[in-house]
């Protein structure tokens, strides 16, 4: 669910530090309509309680609310008035995944009166190690329904609204306008720019979090007189190749849990008016080192095309602005688009490869990262990792591959009907790059597995895990 922008240093010239900026991706599966945005005031349980027997001072809390939230109400730095403001506030959480789960649960628990949850996905089994608002029993159910169920089970006195088409351009301005605070818990660059633009145009603070691998980040955009927006820091979109997603790079489950909890904290501070929001500061979390670092961010840029002095993006033009073109990336985490680098004759299907593996000898070279190879691989495969980001690193394997092709050709014999070596990867893109690289270096008699090991898991008929 993330990607790392190499251009992060642009945002941090003042400090000399160069933290990476993390973005996210997500799969979209739902086309259900969103529920219309309610602008009614917050409904709370027990508002009709008789108040004749007691009296609070300058707050609207009911007796039940006083009991429920007592442990934070008694805090001198919080108190009944802050709780009252929280109960009358509204927060929109965009993304009900690894970040959005703790945000939704903590905000529900804390008593934010109206919670909006926007997402398009259904819960999958591989979400459960980090997306703690969901359960085994809700796998296959829309994430809005699943997270809504969890929030209501924590606090039935709050109002939960669901936006099952996610936060898209058609409803961006309406949604951003009718919540007090917006939380970006998404995982891709197009969504981050859209959410930031809508928050600027609607005049709403944006709590932005990101987590990938073992790293996390947090800041508040568009807050205060000089707080920057996302575009102020990143007027140019990151190169799609410079970013990686959680489905490719992985994420340690507790990392988005920590960042999401911090996002909930920032949202509570903004909604209750307590504390100092993390504006113009970027919090960096290194999970392996157990280290939090804060770096100062530049202030709002007069040249920014959305929050600057001569904005070019308006509420009207936002509708037709192409965020996918601007970022060169899709607003979902469906994985990279299938590459068509090789001719069909240079590729084999999973079914064909299965026949070769079972009836004849074929040498299989698996070019996935070692961590993925160790999950599962076709028996007898050799692991020679290839990275699109560092293709030159594979050069050291080319002579080995030349030898492998020579040896395999001897094993399979001159009358073999298939090439001696098959290159496989996860999805069938890197394997094409490797075959292309080998052919360019004069290593022929090599094919790749079309669709990679995902196709192998689906189509070969053998038991193989999909991850
Ligand atoms: Zn800006």
- Give residue-wise pLDDT tens across range 382-413: 999 999 888 999 999 999 888 888 887 776 66
**Is residue 422 marked as binding?**
no
pLDDT of residue 15: 42
| 179 against 338, higher pLDDT | 179
Ligand 1 center from residue 197 Cα (angstroms): 8
What is the DSSP pairing of strand 347-348 with strand 363-366? unpaired
Is pLDDT of 187 > 60?
yes
Ligand 1 center from residue 171 Cα (angstroms): 21
**Is residue 232 marked as binding?**
yes
Is pLDDT of 274 > 90?
yes
**Is residue 143 marked as binding?**
yes
Q: What percent of the chain has pLDDT over 90?
A: 71
Which one is catalytic: 37, 87, 199, 246?
Answer: 246
Whether CATH 3.50.50.60 fits 3-42+89-327: no
- Of 216, 245, 250, nearest to 99 (Cα)? 216
- Active-site residue, 425 included: yes
Radius of gyration of the CA atoms of the chain, in A? 26
Fold agreement (3-42+89-327, 344-459): no
State how far the alpha carbon of 79 is from the alpha carbons of 89, 127, 230, 272, 421, in Å: 16, 37, 33, 10, 70
3-state secondary structure 228-283: CCHHHHCCCCCCHHHCCCHHHHCECCHHHHHHHHHHHHHHHHHHHCCCCCCECEEE
- Of 372, 427, 426, 423, nearest to 398 (Cα)? 423
pLDDT of residue 9: 38
pLDDT of residue 87: 97
pTM of the predicted protein model: 0.78
Q: Mean pLDDT across the chain, nearest whole number?
A: 87
Is pLDDT of 40 > 70?
no
- Active-site residue, 246 included: yes
Is pLDDT of 122 > 50?
yes
Is pLDDT of 213 > 90?
yes
**CB of 32 within 8 A of CB of 165?**
yes
Mean pLDDT of 423-443: 95
CATH number corresponding to 344-459: 3.40.250.10
pLDDT of residue 11: 42
- Of 252, 257, 210, 213, nearest to 234 (Cα)? 210
Is pLDDT of 417 > 70?
no
Ligand 1 center from residue 227 Cα (angstroms): 9
**Is residue 243 marked as binding?**
no
Residue identified by tokens 């090991």 is 453
Q: Tell me 79's DSSP state.
A: H
Q: How confident is the model at residue 359 (pLDDT cuts 50, 70, 90)?
A: confident
**Which parts of 69-168 fold into alpha helices (H)?**
70-73, 79-87, 100-110, 143-154
| 171 against 16, higher pLDDT | 171
Q: How confident is the model at residue 338 (pLDDT cuts 50, 70, 90)?
A: confident
Is pLDDT of 17 > 80?
no
Is pLDDT of 252 > 70?
yes
pLDDT of residue 18: 47
Ligand 1 center from residue 193 Cα (angstroms): 10
- What pLDDT digit, counting tens, does each position of 84-111 carry? 999 999 999 999 999 999 999 999 999 9
Q: Where are the domains of the chain?
A: 3-42+89-327, 344-459
**C-beta neighbour count of 152 within 10 angstroms:** 15
pLDDT of residue 319: 94
Q: For Cα atoms 259, 279, 328, give the angle at the middle one, nearest 5 degrees.
A: 70
Which one is catalytic: 87, 178, 243, 425?
Answer: 425
**CB of 372 within 8 A of CB of 408?**
no
* Distance between start and end Cα atoms, the chain: 14
**Is residue 129 marked as binding?**
yes
Q: How far apart are CA 448 and CA 402, in angstroms?
A: 15
pLDDT of residue 242: 63
Mean pLDDT of 195-208: 98
| 167 against 33, higher pLDDT | 167
HSE toward the beta carbon, residue 133, CA cutoff 13 A = 37
pLDDT of residue 36: 41
**CB of 404 within 8 A of CB of 421?**
yes
pLDDT of residue 272: 97
Phi, psi at 394, each rounded to 5°: -80, -10
Q: How far apart are CA 269 and CA 58, in angstroms?
A: 19
């Amino acid at each position: 669910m993330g990607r790392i922008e190499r251009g992060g240093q642009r945002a941090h010239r003042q400090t000399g530090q160069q933290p990476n900026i993390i973005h996210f991706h997500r799969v979209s599966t739902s086309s259900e309509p969103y529920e219309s945005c309610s602008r009614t005031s917050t409904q709370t349980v027990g508002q009709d309680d008789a108040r004749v027997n007691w009296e609070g001072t300058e707050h609207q809390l009911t007796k039940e609310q006083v009991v429920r939230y007592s442990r934070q109400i008694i805090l001198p730095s919080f108190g009944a008035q802050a709780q009252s403001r929280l109960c009358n506030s509204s927060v929109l959480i965009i993304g009900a995944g690894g970040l959005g789960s703790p945000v939704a649960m903590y905000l529900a628990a804390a008593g934010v009166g109206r919670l909006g949850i926007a997402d398009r996905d259904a819960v999958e089994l591989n979400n459960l190690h980090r997306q703690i608002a969901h359960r085994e029993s809700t796998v296959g159910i829309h994430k809005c329904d699943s997270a809504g169920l969890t929030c209501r089970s924590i606090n039935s006195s709050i109002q939960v609204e669901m936006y099952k088409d996610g936060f898209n351009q058609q409803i961006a301005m309406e949604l951003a306008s009718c919540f007090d605070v917006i939380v970006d818990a998404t995982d891709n660059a197009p969504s981050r720019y859209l959410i930031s633009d809508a928050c600027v145009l609607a005049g709403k603070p944006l709590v932005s979090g990101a987590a990938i691998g073992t790293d996390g980040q947090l800041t508040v955009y568009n807050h205060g007189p000089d707080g920057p927006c996302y575009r102020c820091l990143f007027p140019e979109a990151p190169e799609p190749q410079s970013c990686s997603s959680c489905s490719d790079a992985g994420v340690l489950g507790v990392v988005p849990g920590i960042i999401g909890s911090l996002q909930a904290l920032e949202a509570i501070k903004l909604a209750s008016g307590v504390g100092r929001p993390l504006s113009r500061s970027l919090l960096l979390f290194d999970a392996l080192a157990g280290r939090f670092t804060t770096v100062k961010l530049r202030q709002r840029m007069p040249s920014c095309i959305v929050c600057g002095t001569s904005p070019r993006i308006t509420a009207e033009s936002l509708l037709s602005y192409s965020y996918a073109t601007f970022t060169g990336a899709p607003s979902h985490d469906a994985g990279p688009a299938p590459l068509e680098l090789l001719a069909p004759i240079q590729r084999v299907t999973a079914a064909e490869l299965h026949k070769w593996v079972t009836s004849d000898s074929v040498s299989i070279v698996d070019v996935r990262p070692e961590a993925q190879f160790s999950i599962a691989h076709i028996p007898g495969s050799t692991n020679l990792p290839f990275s699109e980001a560092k293709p030159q690193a594979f050069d050291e394997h080319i002579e080995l591959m030349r030898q492998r092709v020579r040896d395999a050709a001897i094993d399979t014999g001159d009358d073999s009907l298939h090439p001696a070596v098959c290159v496989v990867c996860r999805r069938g893109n890197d394997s094409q790059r490797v075959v292309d690289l080998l052919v360019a270096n004069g290593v022929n008699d090599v094919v790749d597995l079309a669709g990679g090991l995902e196709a192998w898991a689906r189509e070969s008929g053998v038991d193989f895990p999909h991850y």
